[in-house]
Amino acid sequence: MAQGQARSPGSNMALRTYCCSVSAWQRRLPFLAWLPQYSLQWLKMDFIAGLSVGLTVIPQALAYAEVAGLPPQYGLYSAFMGCFVYFFLGTSRDVTLGPTAIMSLLVSFYTFHEPAYAVLLAFLSGCIQLTMGFLHLGFVLDFVSCPVIKGFTSAAAVTIGFGQIKNLLGLRNIPSQFFLQVYRTFRSITETRVGDAILGLVCMVLLLVLKLMRDHMPPVRPEMALGVRLSCGLVWTAATARNALVVSFAALVAYSFEVTGHRPFILTGEISKGLPPARVPPFSVSTANGTASFTEMVQDMGAGLAVVPLIGLLESIAVAKAFASQNDYRVDANQELLAIGLTNTLGSFISSYPITGSFGRTAVNAQSGVCTPAGGLVTGVLVLLSLDYLTSLFYYIPKAALAAVIIMAVAPLFDTKIFGTLWRVKRLDLLPLCVTFLLCFWEVQYGILAGTLVSMLLLLHSVARPKVQVSEGPVLVLQPASGLHFPTIEALRDTILNQALEALTTLWSWAWLGSSRTSASRTSPWCSWACRRLCSASCWLLI
């Protein structure tokens, strides 16, 4: 065949089929798109970012297990599977999957501080999320409005933060229910352990100072002196790994007192050493009242089987979209559903509880200059190494230090600006926000459900009663602001009737005035024009 000769139809069809198959594989396995272009520069940046996130996630995982009401090792069990799965399936270079404060709070509500329930909840949540991903049901999340999400996250921040006051002050026997917790905390305030209170407050101050140092540090430029760049790099590293540094400092202080025979702090205690065993999620569990079957466990978790997968997807996709718009790339919502669903499903086989995307660690990842999801591999390996070699050192970590880490992590979740924004933009949206915020202190599922219902009612009201723009001219035109649906018919008919009658009344008035003030020769045009307007209005009324 000559070089300039056109391809045969068969070869063109084969080429299109090959391209489509490659595109389909890259869409389902996004790492195939960026891996061929991977470079040493990307490797260096991913390694730094993965190391930074790893130093952040280890102390946070231990702390979030406390929020979930589980032994500390379960936080670490939940911190590494997402790093490996997201490498293959993730569409965002910044997102890191793992335990979060909000997800840990939900786990504590629905699993009764029982690890078997938490692991089964991870398995079932993953199955639900995978099903939604395969059926392309990501659009369902759009019906949970921003005010509902903000109301829930703000209530969760208050609940989680106040729930750690007992550990910050060294109080014991404080119930988990929010209102009882508030009452018993203030009633037991005289039982505060001085050592825990001082250490916890010192840790919070150190975390705040390090965060402010990073936020106000000037950007490093090539023309700066070498010493200045090194100093900025050292400050940035210390501020980024502040959780690990503060927890290590607190553990060293606690160990020093332990050696001298004093114990002024409540310590984390023994943590199971080694990697988690790979086993099937528990479909039954032995309790004090006998053995709970799979059906009974599902019934016990109840609404958690809907709330946990939904909030997990909302949190993860919101984080992915936020950083995608900030860094100018796109994410596939349905692919993100598959990634988080598979992470939870596989994670349940290594004793993980439900996880989702972490906003704080994703921010650390992005600020560290991560280039691809390969940075998660470094984080995952670091967590595995800590499980294998560092668990004996975790014994000396004071609970007050972990409480300080949690409080400083959840404080930004309380969005005070949203109230002012909604007041200026659309005050009616304050209703679902306040309903969600207040009811979440009672029961999370009721708060989310009530807020979503209020948002849906507001949406349906705008559909059933759309604003109508009236244009007057030779023909009276009424234009609804939105599409026409059957709930709109009655209101639109009344609007047309009222506008038509008003127009007819005006026209007859003009015609009467014209006939009384003009000569008979000039009355005829007024009446003719009025009749034409009457006919036009009547036609619109009939329509």
Q: How many CB atoms lie within 10 A of CB 28?
A: 13
pLDDT at 451 over 80: yes
Per-residue pLDDT, averaged over 472-487, amounts to 69
pLDDT at 356 over 50: yes
d(CA 393, CA 255): 9
Confidence class for position 381, pLDDT limits 50, 70, 90: very high
Confidence class for position 68, pLDDT limits 50, 70, 90: very high
pLDDT at 543: 43
Strands (E), 327-371: 356-357
Average pLDDT score, the chain:
83
Per-residue pLDDT, averaged over 323-340, amounts to 85
Residue 208 or 27, more confident? 208
pLDDT at 474: 66
Confidence class for position 374, pLDDT limits 50, 70, 90: very high
Distances (CA, A) of 273 to 276, 312, 380, 416: 9, 29, 17, 42
Per-residue pLDDT, averaged over 477-495, amounts to 72
Q: Residue 265 contacts by C-beta under 8 Å, 6 or more apart in sequence?
A: 170, 193, 195, 196, 199, 253, 254, 257, 398, 399, 400
Segment 103-129, tens digit of pLDDT: 999 999 899 889 999 999 999 999 999
pLDDT at 382 over 60: yes
pLDDT at 445 over 50: yes
pLDDT at 521: 45
Give the distance from CA 266 to its chain's centroid. 32
Of these ranges, 9-23, 167-181, 316-330, 483-497, the one predicted with the greatest mean pLDDT is 167-181
Q: How many CB atoms lie within 10 A of CB 71?
A: 17
Confidence class for position 392, pLDDT limits 50, 70, 90: confident
Of 165, 149, 189, 183, residue with least CA distance to 66? 165
Q: The whole model's pTM is what? A: 0.78
Q: Residue 408 contacts by C-beta under 8 Å, 6 or more apart in sequence?
A: 204, 207, 208, 211
pLDDT at 7 over 70: no
Residue 501 or 436, more confident? 436
d(CA 9, CA 243): 62
Judge whether 461 and 429 are in contact, CB under 8 Å.
no
Judge whether 103 and 354 are in contact, CB under 8 Å.
yes
pLDDT at 508 over 70: no
Confidence class for position 490, pLDDT limits 50, 70, 90: confident
Q: How many CB atoms lie within 10 A of CB 261?
A: 6
For the residues of 8-34, what is the DSSP string, one character each?
Answer: PHHHHHHHHHHHHHHHHHHHHSTHHHH
The torsion angles phi and psi of 286, rounded to 5 degrees, stand at -85, 130
Confidence class for position 525, pLDDT limits 50, 70, 90: low
- SS3 string of 387-431? HHHCCCHHHHCEHHHHHHHHHHHHHHHCCCHHHHHHHHHCHHHHH
pLDDT at 523: 45
Confidence class for position 17, pLDDT limits 50, 70, 90: low
Per-residue pLDDT, averaged over 523-530, amounts to 48
Q: Minimum mean pLDDT among 82-86, 362-366, 382-386: which range?
A: 362-366
Q: Minimum mean pLDDT among 32-36, 82-86, 526-530: which range?
A: 526-530
pLDDT at 420 over 50: yes
Distances (CA, A) of 41 to 95, 232, 380: 20, 21, 21
Segment 277-290, tens digit of pLDDT: 899 999 998 877 77
Residue 355 or 18, more confident? 355
pLDDT at 421 over 50: yes
| Joined tokens for residue 244 | 């690990």
Q: Is 171 left (phi over 0), alpha (psi -120 to 50) or beta?
A: beta
pLDDT at 514: 58
Of 313, 390, 387, 398, residue with least CA distance to 351? 387
Above pLDDT 90, what percent of the chain?
33
Tokens 């979209």 belong to 321
Per-residue pLDDT, averaged over 308-326, amounts to 85
- What SS3 state is found at 331? coil
pLDDT at 539: 42
d(CA 137, CA 134): 8
d(CA 474, CA 504): 13
- SS3 string of 110-163? HCCCCHHHHHHHHHHHHHHHHHHHHCCCHHHHHHCCHHHHHHHHHHHHHHHHHH
d(CA 376, CA 46): 8
pLDDT at 520 over 70: no
